[in-house]
Amino acid sequence: MEHEKFAEHGHRLIDWITEYMSEGYSGPVLPKTEPGAVMAQLPETPPLEAEPADAVFADFKNIVLPNVTHWNDPRFFAYFPANHSGPGILGDLLSSGLGVNAMSWATSPAATELEIRMIDWLGQMLGLPWRGCIQDTASSATLCAVLAARERLADINQAGFYTQKPMTAYTSEHAHSVLQKAVWIAGMGERFLRLIPADRHFAMQPEALREAVARDVAAGFRPAIVMSTVGTTSSTAVDPVAEIATIAGEYDMWHHVDAALAGSAAILPEMRWLMDGVPEADSFCFNPHKWMFTNFDCSALFVRQPEALKKALSITPEFLKTAQDSAVENFRDWGVQLGRRFRALKLWYVIRCYGVSGLQAKIREHLRMATWFADQVEREAGLTLVTRPRLNTVCFMADSDERSRALMMAVNASGEAYLSHTVLDDRYVVRVAFGQTHSTFAHVEKLWQLLRRLHREMVTPAE
């Protein structure tokens, strides 16, 4: 592609993205795509000859756009957000423009040093003065924590598990499956993962944890890691991190805190309680790509003792050695992958262009949306709030599982909003998660009117 063509097409794409961000998508937020429908429109073989970018863009509009789920549309309220922003897109664009590989300090000094500074900034915003790095996702961050915990107990990288007693891992029954997967990958075995019962607020019961650990020690197993969650995926429950830290300390276990969503809210002074007990843990991660307007992917991993992480993950073949190795940080030693994207750029853009107070204001508004929405649900006959939201997510039920499911499906089928579900206390629960960059109160009111109308039509079908 000629450079002038790149510029011409690039300007057009920026204009298109600007319109997409300001107007939202005109079609349904959740596409009604049948499996295979996109593939059917794509040629089975690659083009031999060059095609104009305009043709690719036309196909993007005709084939891709109607068949994507519009995660950044203001009508998206499913799962947790993956919110983007103008500044985040600009930073990401520059990262693509430079195309650097941030594996070592020497392969791009600014990438490493900006990343160090961004973790410092985030740490100040959260009151957590630890070192850390940017990972792609919370899944990778959890895997790193598990590998660090494993290696702290025994030299598994060299010896493998062959002669070792089993290592055990613990988390709440409501935690995300990221720990389960990390335990698989680390070779620790799911049979040795304990899902600790939660209380009526869906938070881990510390006494049940203590008992489970004591049982495992008595059986000759070695407790390696406990993961607390601050803001569970199903209901945004918050585990008692400080009490879990005490138990982890008693048994010399690694304590990882997964705050994938909720960490962003902890930058608000009134939400700083979310960080209670975290400084006593060993690692902490949250995703600016969920609720801090930093386009996917960007997960910040903080570690109290980075040496433990590096012991598990540092490897330096001859061809990667550089003259500065003893004086600098090489972030390839802090994670699974060698090659790394320059993610700090988008975070830098986001934090500078919003300012901390701008980020706080937007997140505060999302919290207000959740409270307002919960108030409406509470007042509506036939709907029941599962818990008062303390974060961005409202969980509620209709008067039967069938009706809850039907209500959610009807909202999603309308194309006017997208909700998701979970199961809590064996009941089918509808979740509404706020946190879109472009959602305003008007969108939230519209969602409520739609939901209320559909619910009332179900309860009292039209003659």
Distance (Å, whole) CA 259 – CA 272? 13
Q: Are 322 and 105 in contact (CB under 8 A)?
A: yes
What is the nearest approach in angstroms of ligand PLP to the Cβ of residue 159? Answer: 29
Residue 246, amino acid: T
CB atoms within 10 A of CB 375: 14
> Closest CB to ligand PLP among 156 and 419?
419
> Closest CB to ligand PLP among 138 and 395?
138
> Closest CB to ligand PLP among 229 and 360?
229
For 44, 106, 116, 426, 451, the CA distances from 328, given in Å and listed in that order, are 48, 9, 11, 51, 55
> Closest CB to ligand PLP among 174 and 455?
174
Distance (Å, whole) CA 435 – CA 81? 6
What is the nearest approach in angstroms of ligand PLP to the Cβ of residue 420? Answer: 11
> Closest CB to ligand PLP among 176 and 455?
176
Peptide bond into 239 cis (omega under 30): no
- The pairing of strands 393-397 and 427-433 is antiparallel
> Closest CB to ligand PLP among 225 and 454?
225
Site residues, ligand PLP (CB under 6 A): 80, 137-139, 176, 178, 229, 231-233, 258, 260-261, 287, 299
Distance (Å, whole) CA 141 – CA 139? 5
What is the nearest approach in angstroms of ligand PLP to the Cβ of residue 309? Answer: 18
> Closest CB to ligand PLP among 88 and 454?
88
> Closest CB to ligand PLP among 290 and 304?
290
CA pseudo-torsion sign 235, 241, 247, 249 = positive
> Closest CB to ligand PLP among 206 and 231?
231
What is the nearest approach in angstroms of ligand PLP to the Cβ of residue 259? Answer: 7
What is the nearest approach in angstroms of ligand PLP to the Cβ of residue 139? Answer: 3
Distance (Å, whole) CA 142 – CA 32? 34
Question: Count of alpha carbons within 13 Å of 68, Cβ hemisphere only?
Answer: 12
What is the nearest approach in angstroms of ligand PLP to the Cβ of residue 170? Answer: 16
> Closest CB to ligand PLP among 156 and 227?
227
Distance (Å, whole) CA 172 – CA 418? 28
Q: Are 187 and 243 in contact (CB under 8 A)?
A: no
What's the distance, Cα to Cα, between the start and end of the chain in Å? 62
Distance (Å, whole) CA 219 – CA 351? 49
For 5, 61, 187, 301, 423, the CA distances from 304, given in Å and listed in that order, are 48, 47, 24, 10, 35
CB atoms within 10 A of CB 82: 18
Number of residues in the chain: 463
3-state helix, strand, coil in the chain (%, to 5): 50, 15, 35
The 10 Å CB-count burial string (b at 16+, else e) for 418-439 is bbbbbebeeebbbbbbbbbbbb
What is the nearest approach in angstroms of ligand PLP to the Cβ of residue 230? Answer: 8
Q: Are 260 and 289 in contact (CB under 8 A)?
A: no
> Closest CB to ligand PLP among 67 and 420?
420
What is the nearest approach in angstroms of ligand PLP to the Cβ of residue 439? Answer: 18
Q: What is the largest CA-CA distance in the chain?
A: 80
For 30, 31, 33, 70, 73, the CA distances from 38, given in Å and listed in that order, are 15, 11, 8, 16, 21
> Closest CB to ligand PLP among 227 and 313?
227
What is the nearest approach in angstroms of ligand PLP to the Cβ of residue 135? Answer: 8
What is the nearest approach in angstroms of ligand PLP to the Cβ of residue 106? Answer: 29
What is the nearest approach in angstroms of ligand PLP to the Cβ of residue 171? Answer: 10
What is the nearest approach in angstroms of ligand PLP to the Cβ of residue 231? Answer: 6
